[in-house]
């Protein structure tokens, strides 16, 4: 069987002899080139199959872990209500990480509409925002449609298309196809000097508390 190109696992399944014993018996056996090639191909096939099974197993374990944490978080926080102070701290943390820091305006840029929408809604809920103070600008790839992407973001953010300014196109992407589901980066501004100053003060306060453990 070995001379014909059977692997140790193949022989083990047929004869019931352990692989260690087979290796001891046949380790010094001189095999013809055709058998060596056949054994190598079978090893590669088995290795590829093992990798596929391993990837499937890891993916299942990963999805199981993600679902476990989703349920834990849902049970811990689903029924909890956030007051205005908590919401403002969430906005401050979001602004601290992703925001545009200027003296007369607050802003945030992201390609994820949920993050941008969360920022806008927090401003709306906490400060009873004046909708006329919102402005949006898109950063797009060269093959994207300005009109279509403005319509997409307008619907996603509940902001009229008229509030969107001139879009910018990245010339480095010329000739490169945009992957499905990507709608560019949306930069949203809210023009309010007092709010800009308050969020800057809040972010400094939040950083101080985190750094000092207060």
The total of other beta-carbon atoms located within 10 Å of residue 196's CB is 21
The total of other beta-carbon atoms located within 10 Å of residue 189's CB is 20
* CA max distance for the chain: 85
Is the pTM higher than 0.85? The answer reads no
3-class secondary structure, 40: helix
Cα(186)–Cα(167) distance, integer angstroms:
9
Alpha helices per DSSP H over the chain: 8-15, 19-26, 33-77, 84-98, 113-127, 146-157, 193-212
pLDDT of residue 214: 60
> Is a pLDDT exceeding 90 seen at residue 209?
no
In sequence order, the 6+-apart residues with CB closer than 8 A to the CB of 115 are 94, 98, 108
pLDDT of residue 103: 82
Question: In Å, what is the CA distance from 63 to each residue of 54, 55, 56, 67?
Answer: 14, 12, 11, 6
The dihedrals phi and psi of 108, each to the nearest 5 degrees, come to -155, 140
pLDDT tens across 47-95, in order? Answer: 888 899 999 999 999 999 999 999 999 898 888 888 999 999 999 999 9
Torsion region of 184: left, alpha or beta (phi above 0 gives left; psi -120 to 50 gives alpha): left
pLDDT tens across 83-142, in order? Answer: 999 999 999 999 998 888 888 899 999 999 999 999 999 999 999 999 999 999 999 999
8 A C-beta contact, residue 87 and residue 126: yes
pLDDT of residue 4: 85
């Amino acid at each position: 069987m070995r001379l014909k190109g059977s692997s140790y696992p193949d022989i083990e399944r047929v004869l019931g002899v352990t692989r260690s014993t087979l290796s001891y018996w046949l380790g010094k056996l001189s095999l013809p080139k055709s058998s060596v090639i056949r054994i190598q191909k079978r090893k590669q096939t088995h290795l590829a199959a093992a990798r596929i099974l391993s990837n499937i197993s890891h993916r299942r374990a990963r999805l199981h872990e993600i679902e476990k944490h989703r349920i834990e978080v849902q049970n811990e926080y689903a029924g909890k209500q956030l007051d205005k102070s908590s919401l403002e701290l969430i906005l401050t943390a979001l602004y601290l990480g992703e925001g545009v820091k200027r003296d007369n305006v607050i802003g945030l840029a992201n390609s994820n509409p949920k993050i941008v929408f969360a920022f806008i809604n927090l401003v709306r809920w906490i400060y009873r925002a004046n909708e006329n103070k919102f402005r949006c600008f898109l950063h797009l790839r060269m093959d994207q449609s300005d009109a279509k992407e403005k319509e997409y973001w307008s619907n996603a953010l509940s902001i009229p298309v008229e509030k969107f300014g001139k879009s910018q196109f990245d010339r480095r992407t010329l000739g490169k196809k945009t992957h499905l589901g990507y709608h560019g980066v949306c930069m949203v501004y809210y023009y309010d000097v007092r709010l800009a100053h308050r969020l800057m003060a809040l972010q400094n306060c939040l950083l101080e508390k985190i750094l000092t453990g207060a």
